[in-house]
Structure formats: C-alpha cells, structure tokens
C-alpha cells in the first residue's frame, strides 16, 4: 500500500521554466519544496492510503505507453518520502524530533523574521516606524479594551495595522496583552496555549505564566499546551513585533491560538454547544471579569480569502468586480462586531459554510463571548492582492467596554 500524502500546501509552480505543482509543508516539519512536473502531478492522487504500487504502475504505463516505468515510480515515492511529505515511518520520526525539540526549547524563536518582516532590529525599527508614522503621538480617544489587526504579512496590510495600533496609547504599556490569534494548524475546538516567551529582533517578551496556568486548569479539555503550533504560527508573532515596537521588548503577553470551531461552522449550532468550547469560553470570560482593565485584548485576524489561491475558480482583484460584493458582506460582519452581537456575527459566518473563508472568525467570536460588553469601531478596511489571482481582506478596529 502506498503511504498517504500529508496535509500540505499545493499551488501552481511560480518558476516559469519549471512548470508543475509546487508542494511545501505548512507545518515546517520539512523545509523541502518540491515541484512535481505536470506529467507526474496526477500521480499524487494514488498517495491516499488506499492505492497500491501496482495501481500507480498501471497508471504510469497507461499514460506513458511504456512498460518500463519502475524507475520513475520508485523515484517519485522516494522523493516524496525523503521530503517528509508522506505519512510513513520517515515522517513519524522527523515529526517526533521536531516536536520534542520545540517542547524542550526555552523560548519561541522568531520564525517569520526575514520573510514577513526584517530580521535585524535596526531595519525592523525603521520599517515599523515608517508603517506606524507616529502612531503614539497622542492619547487614544478613551480607554481601549481591545484592538483587531490583520495577521497578513505587515507589508501587505500596512494601513490596517497602523489604524489598529494607533488606537493604543503610552499608558497601555503596563497592561497584559492577551493575544488571540488564528490557529491555522491546531485543534479546531480548543484554545492552544504556550508558556514560552516570544523572541523577535527587538528582544524577548514576558509570557504571563500565571494566567496561562490558570487557563489550562479552568478551561479543562477546552485548552491544551500546543507548543508546536505556536512555533510555526504567524498570527501572534506579527502582533508581538508591533507591540514591542510601541512599548519595548519586555511586554507582558498571554498568547492564545483559537481553533476554527469547525463542527459548528459546518454542522450548525453555536460553538459553545460543545462542552469543551463552552468551558474554554467560560474561562476567558471569567479571566476578563477578574482582571478587568489590567488586560488589553489583541486580535490577530484576517477576513475573506478569495480567488484561485484559495480554491475559487475566478481571478480576484482587490476592490473590483466580485470583490466589491465581498466588501459589502465583510462590512455586514464587521457591523455585528461593532454591535457586540456574537450570535448574529456567527450566523453570518455560517452562511454557505463561510464561503468568504474568514480565517479570523474564531478569535473574533472568542473575544465577543469573553467580552460581551465590548463594542467596536471600524478604523480601516482593506483588501490586498496576495498574488495576481487572489485577495485577502482585513481591517483595523478598536473596542471599548460599555
């Protein structure tokens, strides 16, 4: 039996003289990138755990018209396995070593430095200074309970990041920042926690382990230490660099990854119909009530994901054609956020099983249930072409308590 392909990223090759299907590992258990030629791309369907080498051989003979396909077949299987792309013994050992390595690490390293933002502190400071353009030159208009910012690469969402972080003031520096990030890789119905401090080119944060310990206890099976998901996730890391830029490296944070609430999204009902989700949301609500203004909540959330990169058959252009309709629907959801209408927000997300593909919907809903007294204000809405055929939308928002 052929081993199954893992959950991987697949996209058309961006290399003009190497057409085919590009494959990479979003979980970073492997740093390999493969480009499978068009003639072999269809062979990947046989790596599903249900087909055998005989099935693959028969297919290759049929499409090539050549009986001598053994070397090609063995090369394909070996290449996928050595890259760590198959659910086999090679990958199991690779995964064990990587997860064990991060579990034993003392700090969460800046894995997106040099790609999402500059890797050296002087250049990062200059870049974010230009992005923020004097954001803390005046105090915010009243106390801020929370902000929502993108988690797209900062260079793609400059205006929305600036709008969100401009809502903060120097007086916020002593508060604990509870950062709710989208969990792209973790358990769908749990909070993912870590006790590790985050390191960036600016320096090392302080993770409030007292709160992390309390959440792990009070949320029960609704939360778990999900260190490896934190190790590769960008939705919190990007918030950390902006907070450190404004308030210095030693900010106090509580990093929390929010699963997708997929069962509710696809089967109906509310996320808290699940007992573990209910316990997690209840723990966060109790935390908000107990700690009050000592906390400032930061949501690292993107909104719609449209176009060919995200499985749509159409070419998406920011602000044009169908993306104007997407903006209208985005703004309907944003209005529910402004009103603190968690149920109404989730009902809009559930329409067509979230055909807008809002990857930030779970952190938003989590915050709205934890802070039902919060009311929001849209500061800036933005769409960005992440490539020629695909668009991501996001916004900068601020929230206050009534």
pLDDT band at 135 (very low <50, low <70, confident <90, very high): low
Q: Kindly state the percentage of the chain with pLDDT values over 90.
A: 84
Which value, to the nearest 10 degrees, does the dihedral of the CA atoms of residues 127, 128, 131, 134 take?
A: -120
By DSSP bridging, strand 199-200 and strand 206-207 are unpaired
Predicted local confidence at residue 126, as pLDDT: 97
* 273: three-class secondary structure by DSSP: helix
- Tokens standing for residue 177: 């920042």
DSSP states along 300-361 = E----EEEGGGT-SS---TTSTHHHHHHHHHHHHHHHHHHT-HHHHHHHHHGGGTTT--TTH
pLDDT band at 139 (very low <50, low <70, confident <90, very high): very low
Q: What's the predicted TM-score (pTM) here? A: 0.88
Cα–Cα distance between 165 and 148 in angstroms, integer?
9
Instruction: Please check the confidence at residue 323 and state whether its pLDDT lies above 50.
Output: yes
Cα–Cα distance between 388 and 309 in angstroms, integer?
9
Cα–Cα distance between 53 and 162 in angstroms, integer?
54
- Span 157-166, average pLDDT: 96
Predicted local confidence at residue 285, as pLDDT: 98
> Residue 148: which of 362, 373, 391, 384 has the closest Cα?
362
Cα–Cα distance between 26 and 356 in angstroms, integer?
21
- Residues near 6 by Cβ (< 8 Å), separated by ≥ 6? 25, 84, 85, 86, 87, 91
By DSSP bridging, strand 295-300 and strand 203-204 are unpaired
By DSSP bridging, strand 295-300 and strand 374-387 are unpaired
Is 321 or 300 the better-scoring residue by pLDDT?
A: 300
Give residue-wise pLDDT tens across range 184-206. 988 899 999 999 999 999 999 99
Give residue-wise pLDDT tens across range 43-69. 999 999 999 999 999 999 998 888 888
- Count of alpha carbons within 13 Å of 283, Cβ hemisphere only? 21
Q: Which of 132-146, 304-318, 366-380 has the lowest mean pLDDT?
A: 132-146
Instruction: Please check the confidence at residue 27 and state whether its pLDDT lies above 90.
Output: no
Helix residue ranges, H only, 116-220: 121-132, 158-165, 209-218
Instruction: Please check the confidence at residue 16 and state whether its pLDDT lies above 90.
Output: no
Taken in order 26, 31, 35, 41, the sign of the CA dihedral is negative
Predicted local confidence at residue 137, as pLDDT: 44
Superfamily of 108-401 according to CATH:
LigB-like (3.40.830.10)
Instruction: Please check the confidence at residue 143 and state whether its pLDDT lies above 50.
Output: yes
Which part of the chain has CATH 3.40.830.10?
Answer: 108-401
- Tokens standing for residue 267: 């089967």
Instruction: Please check the confidence at residue 140 and state whether its pLDDT lies above 60.
Output: no
Residue 161 contacts residue 396 (beta carbons within 8 Å): yes
Cα–Cα distance between 189 and 262 in angstroms, integer?
7
pLDDT band at 134 (very low <50, low <70, confident <90, very high): low
> Residue 383: which of 267, 305, 296 has the closest Cα?
305
pLDDT band at 103 (very low <50, low <70, confident <90, very high): confident
Give residue-wise pLDDT tens across range 329-359. 999 999 999 999 999 999 999 999 999 999 9
Is 233 or 140 the better-scoring residue by pLDDT?
A: 233
Give residue-wise pLDDT tens across range 286-299. 999 999 999 999 99
Q: For residue 369, how many other CB atoms are within 10 A of its CB?
A: 22
Residue 277 contacts residue 189 (beta carbons within 8 Å): yes
- Tokens standing for residue 377: 């204000």
Instruction: Please check the confidence at residue 235 and state whether its pLDDT lies above 70.
Output: yes
Predicted local confidence at residue 291, as pLDDT: 97
Cα–Cα distance between 282 and 28 in angstroms, integer?
33
Instruction: Please check the confidence at residue 141 and state whether its pLDDT lies above 60.
Output: no
Rg (CA), the chain: 22
Instruction: Please check the confidence at residue 142 and state whether its pLDDT lies above 90.
Output: no
> Packing angle between helix 70-82 and helix 89-104, nearest 10 degrees?
10
Instruction: Please check the confidence at residue 259 and state whether its pLDDT lies above 80.
Output: yes
Q: What is the DSSP letter of 384?
A: E
Predicted local confidence at residue 47, as pLDDT: 96
> Packing angle between helix 121-132 and helix 237-247, nearest 10 degrees?
80
């Amino acid at each position: 039996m052929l081993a199954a392909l893992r959950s991987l990223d697949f996209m058309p090759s961006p290399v003009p003289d190497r057409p085919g299907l590009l494959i990479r590992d979003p979980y970073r258990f492997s740093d390999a990138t493969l480009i499978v030629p068009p003639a072999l791309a269809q062979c990947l369907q046989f790596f599903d755990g249900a087909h055998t080498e005989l099935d693959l051989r028969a297919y290759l003979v049929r499409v090539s018209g050549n009986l001598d396909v053994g070397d090609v077949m063995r090369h394909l299987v070996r290449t996928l396995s050595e890259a760590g792309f198959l659910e086999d013994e090679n990958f199991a050992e690779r995964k064990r070593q990587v997860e064990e390595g991060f579990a034993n690490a003392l700090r969460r390293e800046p894995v997106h430095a040099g790609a999402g933002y500059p890797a050296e502190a002087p250049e990062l400071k200059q870049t974010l200074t230009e992005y923020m353009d004097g954001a803390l030159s005046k105090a915010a208009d009243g106390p801020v309970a929370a902000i929502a910012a993108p988690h797209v690469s900062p260079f793609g969402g400059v205006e929305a990041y600036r709008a969100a972080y401009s809502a903060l003031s120097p007086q916020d520096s002593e508060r604990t920042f509870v950062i709710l990030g989208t969990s792209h890789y973790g358990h769908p119905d749990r909070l993912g926690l870590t006790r590790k401090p985050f390191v960036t080119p600016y320096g090392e944060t302080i993770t409030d382990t007292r709160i992390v310990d309390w959440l792990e206890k009070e949320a029960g099976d609704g939360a778990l230490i999900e260190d490896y998901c934190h190790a590769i996730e960008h939705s919190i890391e990007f918030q950390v660099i902006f907070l450190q830029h404004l308030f210095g490296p030693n900010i106090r944070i509580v990093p929390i990854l929010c699963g997708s609430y997929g069962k509710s999204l696809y089967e109906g009902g509310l996320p808290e119909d699940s007992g573990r989700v209910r316990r997690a949301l209840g723990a966060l609500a109790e935390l908000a009530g107990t700690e009050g203004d000592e906390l400032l909540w930061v949501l690292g959330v993107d909104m719609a994901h449209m176009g060919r990169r995200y499985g749509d058959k159409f070419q998406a252009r920011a602000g044009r054609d169908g993306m104007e309709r997407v903006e209208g629907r985005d703004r309907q959801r944003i209005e529910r956020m402004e009103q603190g209408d968690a149920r109404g927000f989730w009902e809009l997300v559930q329409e067509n099983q979230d055909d807008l593909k809002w990857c930030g919907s779970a952190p938003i809903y989590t915050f709205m249930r934890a802070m039902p007294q919060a009311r929001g204000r849209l500061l800036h809405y933005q769409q960005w072409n992440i490539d020629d055929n695909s668009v991501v939308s996001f916004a900068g928002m601020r929230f206050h308590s009534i």
